[in-house]
Amino acid sequence: MSEDIDEPAVDAAGGPHDEADAGRGRGLNRRVVALAVAGAVGGFLFGFDSSVVNGAVDAIEQEFGLSAGLTGLAIASALLGCAVGAELAGRLADRFGRIPVMILGASLFLISAIGSGLALGVWDLIVWRVIGGIGIGIASVVSPAYIAEISPRRARGRLASLQQLAIVFGIFTALLSDAVFAWAAGGAAEPFWLGLDAWRWMFLAGIVPSVAYGLIAFSLPESPRFLMRVEKEDEARAVLQRIQPGEVERAVRDIRNTMKADDEAKQTKGALRGPVFGLRGIVWIGILLSVFQQFVGINVIFYYSTTLWSAVGFDESNAFAISVFTSITNILVTFVAIALVDRVGRRPLLLVGSAGMAVSLATMALAFGNASGSGEDITLPGAWGPTALVAANLFVVFFGFSWGPLVWVLLGEIFPNRIRARALGLAAAAQWIANFVVTVTFPLLANTSLLLTYGMYATFAALSFFFVLAKIPETNGMSLEESDTLLPPRGSARRRATTGADATGS
C-alpha cells in the first residue's frame, strides 16, 4: 500500500484535504452520502423481489393447480434471471456506463411487476419472473460497483453497506405489503381492487420501487472511473469535484495510472483469465465469497420461514409474525455493520460472523433433530421450539452484521478497476446460482431430514471461517486504485525488481 493511506494527503494547492476527517466521521461529503443512498435503491429492488413471492406462494399454487415441483420452479425462476442479469451487467456497464444500465434494470423490473401481476398461467408467470430477475441481477452488480467508485476510501465500507441495508429494507417492505394486501382482501387468494386477487397486487406493488429507482438513476452522475475510461476526463473531474473536493488531482492521477497498468496487462492476458482454472485468483475469491454467503442457507429463512415455522408447530399467524420479526432483526443488525465496518475492518467481522453462524445453525440442526412426527406434521417438543427460534434469530444476527453486508463491500473493493464491473458480475451470477440451488433443494432436503439440512448449512458456515482466514485480504482504508496489490500476478515483484535494476543501470 502507499504511504498516504495513514497520513493526511494534500491537494493540488498544497492544502490538507478532508479525507482524514471523513474517516473519523467529520466532514463526510453529504453529496457522496446522498449518491450512495440513491445508488443503493437497486438493493431495495433486490430485497423486495426476493421476498414478495413469500406471501403469494399458496395462492399461486391454488390458482394454477400446481404440483410442489412446479411451485418451487415458479418461486426460484427469478433467480435464474438474476444470474443472467448479473453476468450481463458487467459487460453492459463497461460499455454503456453505470447509469444507463441502472435504468435498464429498473425498466425490466417494472415490466416484470406488471406481467407477474396480470399473469394468465404459471408459464407466463415464470417468464415475467425471469425478466424481473434479469433486472434485479443487473441492479445487484451495478449498484455496489457504483457506490464503491464514488465513495472516499475511509468511508467506503459504511457507504457500501447501504446496499445491504437497502436489501433488508426491501425484504421487510415486501413482507409487510404482502401482509397488508392479504389482510385487506381477507386472504391472498381473495379479490381486491379492480377484481384482481390480492396476490396479484403483491406483485403489482413492485411498480412503485422500480419507477422510483429509474427516476433516481436519471438524476445520478456517471462514475468518474467510467468517464475516464471513455476519455471524458473533464466530466470525470467535474464529478470528482462534487464528491471529493480537494482530492481531484490525486484521484485523477490514481485512476490514470491504474488505467495505464491495466492496458499494459491486457496486451498479454484476457481481462478475467488467469492460471487458476482459467480465471484470476482474485476472481475466484469473489465467486467463493458469493457462494459461501448463500450456502449457509440465509435465504431459506426469508423464502420459507413461514412454512418452516408452521411445519414445526407454530400456528400460521405466529409463523408470519416470526418472519416479520426476523426481517426487523436483520435491519437492526445491518446498522451494526455500518457502524463497525470502517472501524473494526472486514476480516474480523467476517470471522466472528462465520463462527456465530456455525454455532447457531448447529443448534438449529440439533433442535430439528429432536422433532417428532413426519412430513408436514412435525412438532418440536418441550424447549426445542424456543431453542430453534432463538438460534434462528441469532443466525440472522451473525449473518446480518457480517456476511450479509460485507460480501457486497468486498465485491466492490477487491477487484482491479478495469475488471471490476465484469468480475463483480461473474461473482454476483455465482451468488444467484447458489441462491437458486439452495432455494430449489430446501423442500426436498427438509422433507428428508431437517437435521441433515441445517447440519449441512452449519458445515458451510464453519468452512467459511477458514476461507476468510486463509484467503480474504483486509481492504479497510485502501483506495480502489490499490486493489491491484491484493493478489499481484505471480512473478510481478521479480519483474518490478528487474525493471528497476535496468533503469538504474545496475
Confidence of residue 328 (pLDDT cuts 50, 70, 90): confident
| 355: nearest Cα among 470, 471, 468, 474 | 468
Mean pLDDT (the chain, rounded): 75
Phi, psi of 73, rounded to the nearest 5 degrees: -65, -40
- Per DSSP, the three-state class of 267 is coil
Angle at 351 between CA 413 and CA 171, to 5 degrees: 70
pLDDT, position 175: 81
pLDDT tens digits, one per residue of 13-39:
333 344 334 334 444 567 777 777 777
| Better-scored residue on pLDDT, 314 or 106 | 106
Alpha-carbon radius of gyration of the chain: 23
pLDDT, position 487: 52
pLDDT at 495 over 90: no
148-187 burial string, b = 16+ CB within 10 Å, else e? bbbbbbbbbbbbbbbbbbbbbbbbbbbbebbbebbeebee
pLDDT, position 403: 87
CA 158 to chain centre: 14
pLDDT at 103 over 80: yes
Question: Within the chain, which residue ranges are assigned CATH 1.20.1250.20?
Answer: 29-220, 276-480
Percent of the chain scored above 90 by pLDDT?
10
Grid cell locating 345: 475492518
Grid cell locating 45: 429492488
Q: Please, are residues 68 and 443 in contact by the beta-carbon 8 Å criterion?
A: yes
Phi, psi of 16, rounded to the nearest 5 degrees: -70, 140
Confidence of residue 458 (pLDDT cuts 50, 70, 90): very high
pLDDT at 455 over 70: yes
**CATH superfamily to which 276-480 belongs:** MFS general substrate transporter like domains (1.20.1250.20)
pLDDT, position 501: 42
pLDDT, position 494: 39
Query: CA 482, CA 40: separation in Å to the nearest integer?
Result: 24
Beta-bridged to residue 378, according to DSSP, are 373
- Burial classification of residue 11, based on how many CB atoms lie within 10 Å of its CB (0-12 exposed, 13-18 middle, 19 or more buried): middle
**CATH superfamily to which 29-220 belongs:** MFS general substrate transporter like domains (1.20.1250.20)
- Burial classification of residue 121, based on how many CB atoms lie within 10 Å of its CB (0-12 exposed, 13-18 middle, 19 or more buried): exposed
- Per DSSP, the three-state class of 370 is coil
The label of the residue with cell 396479484 reads: 200
pLDDT tens digits, one per residue of 472-484:
877 766 555 555 5
pLDDT, position 153: 66
pLDDT, position 451: 86
pLDDT tens digits, one per residue of 270-317:
466 655 566 777 888 889 999 999 999 887 776 666 656 665 556 656
Query: CA 325, CA 306: separation in Å to the nearest integer?
Result: 11
Query: CA 244, CA 153: separation in Å to the nearest integer?
Result: 11
In Å, what is the CA distance from 411 to each residue of 416, 425, 474?
Answer: 11, 9, 12
Reported pTM: 0.67
pLDDT, position 353: 92
pLDDT at 84 over 80: yes
- Per DSSP, the three-state class of 279 is strand
| 340: nearest Cα among 324, 330, 352, 328 | 352
- Which range is least confidently modeled, 1-10, 190-199, 326-335? 1-10
pLDDT, position 9: 35
Query: CA 82, CA 109: separation in Å to the nearest integer?
Result: 11
Query: CA 116, CA 42: separation in Å to the nearest integer?
Result: 19
Query: CA 381, CA 23: separation in Å to the nearest integer?
Result: 51
Query: CA 51, CA 59: separation in Å to the nearest integer?
Result: 15
Report how many helices (DSSP H) and strands (DSSP E) the chain contains, helices first.
Answer: 22, 4
| 257: nearest Cα among 149, 420, 416, 411 | 416
pLDDT tens digits, one per residue of 341-366:
777 778 888 999 999 999 999 998 89
Name the amino acid, one letter, at 387.
Answer: T
Beta strands per DSSP E along 249-327:
273-276, 279
- How many Cα atoms are found within 13 Å in the side-chain-facing hemisphere of 281? 11
Element (H, E) at 372: strand 372-374
Element (H, E) at 377: strand 377-379
pLDDT, position 265: 52
In Å, what is the CA distance from 431 to each residue of 116, 250, 407, 480?
Answer: 24, 35, 10, 22
Name the amino acid, one letter, at 22.
Answer: A
- Burial classification of residue 491, based on how many CB atoms lie within 10 Å of its CB (0-12 exposed, 13-18 middle, 19 or more buried): exposed
Beta-bridged to residue 372, according to DSSP, are 379
pLDDT, position 497: 39
Residues 6+ apart with CB under 8 A from 298: 395, 396, 399, 403, 404
What's 417's DSSP letter?
Answer: G
In Å, what is the CA distance from 349 to each residue of 289, 297, 357, 425?
Answer: 14, 19, 12, 24
Grid cell locating 37: 443512498
